[in-house]
Structure 1
């Protein structure tokens, strides 16, 4: 769908060595896709509810995002990147296409650590990173987009600056409650209570917070429907 001449070697590598042998599926639409097999020389970087992201040593500075069969959103994500154009807080779309059951994107690799992992590992999150993310979301709105599903696992910290990693839901309607809640917790709890050298939060505590947050949000939505 989107190719450029200089991308052809990359496309051949992807379509000859990754897509024929990769195995991933969406078992539960509300949980990350399951990657059953990653081909040799490819490395799995992570998985979301729509797709998994891979990298290869012959594609420095790039990643390949492969959508699970049957999962929507590939065309929408292409459109979002086309609207965003070039911005320092976002990735860049180099190529996109469909082969067999898989649709994929070739993207600029964003280096850094997610804010979720910063909390887990005890890495301080500076206020500048939060401001950068807010400005990036405002920029997206100025391009006719609606930032949605922005939370600690899809925004990153790199050299003290904030980046937005996942833009796949930027064409959806409605407010981004999760980012508002994350900011509220950052300014009300994190900055006043966390010491200058933040302590790491163990996985069990992070998972408990995530579970309780989802329960509270679900209850809030149900109460809103009843009123």
Structure 2
């Protein structure tokens, strides 16, 4: 196909980012506690997901790479780049190939978030929990912190666990998000509902998330936005 490049053709992707994506892309961040909104995304770029700091985009001619573009006035790009520098190469994490003005080029992680697994009734094997535990231990050994590790930031791929978002791993404040999720998995999900293949509506999951954040706020243990 004309104009098509190899899966990892960084110079070609950077050219597309600087001359096609960024001049047209608009990212709005109306509330720091809610995900950013992507508008005016030029074709053929697509949105993979949105977090509270940035949007993750990709170009179909570069299927192995993703571009994380930070919202206006949203902090954290330099800190996230430092996290990836310390992580280096690890199968449970992405990898940073380039740090640009307001964006990062990352290895694209394939899979289904644990949040979507619950919505779609996809069983979550115990291996995922073990993989995340091992990955967080690796991160801690490199001076990082497992901060804000929750169902939207974790992914299932071919039976293994991946950690998608590590942007807050320089934050030294205590965060029990992962410990609480692991406890809920072992106490409720695995023995009671994991084998049933039930589909949990997104509205229910979002309600649980809001209630959890409220309890954490009351206890003074709220993770980053």
Cα separation, 2, equivalents of 1:221 and 1:73: 22
Per the TM alignment, residue 213 of structure 1 is displaced from its structure 2 partner at its CA by 1.4
Which sections of structure 1, spanning at least 5 residues, go unmatched? 1-5, 223-227
In the superposition, relative to structure 1, how do residues 132 and 195 fare at CA in structure 2: closer, same or farther (>3 Å)? Answer: closer
In the superposition, relative to structure 1, how do residues 195 and 115 fare at CA in structure 2: closer, same or farther (>3 Å)? Answer: closer
- Aligned pairs for 1:167-178 (under 5 A) are 167-178=166-177
Report what 2:36 is aligned to: 33
In the superposition, relative to structure 1, how do residues 195 and 81 fare at CA in structure 2: closer, same or farther (>3 Å)? Answer: closer
TM-score, normalisation: structure 1: 0.90
Q: Where in structure 1 do 4 or more consecutive aligned residues deviate above 6 Å?
A: none
Cα separation, 1, equivalents of 2:60 and 2:208: 36
Superposed CA RMSD: 1.3
In the superposition, relative to structure 1, how do residues 96 and 212 fare at CA in structure 2: closer, same or farther (>3 Å)? Answer: same
Cα separation, 1, equivalents of 2:138 and 2:219: 29
| 1:52 aligned counterpart, secondary structure | strand
Report what 1:199 is aligned to: 198
TM-score, normalisation: structure 2: 0.91
Aligned length: 213
Cα separation, 1, equivalents of 2:20 and 2:176: 40
Report what 1:3 is aligned to: none
- Aligned pairs for 1:84-103 (under 5 A) are 84-98=87-101, 103=102
Residue number among 12, 23, 26 corresponding to 1:23 in the alignment: 26
The answer to whether the 8 Å contact 2:113/2:155 transfers is yes
Deviations 1:126-170 (A, max 9, x none): 101110011001000011111201000001000100000000000
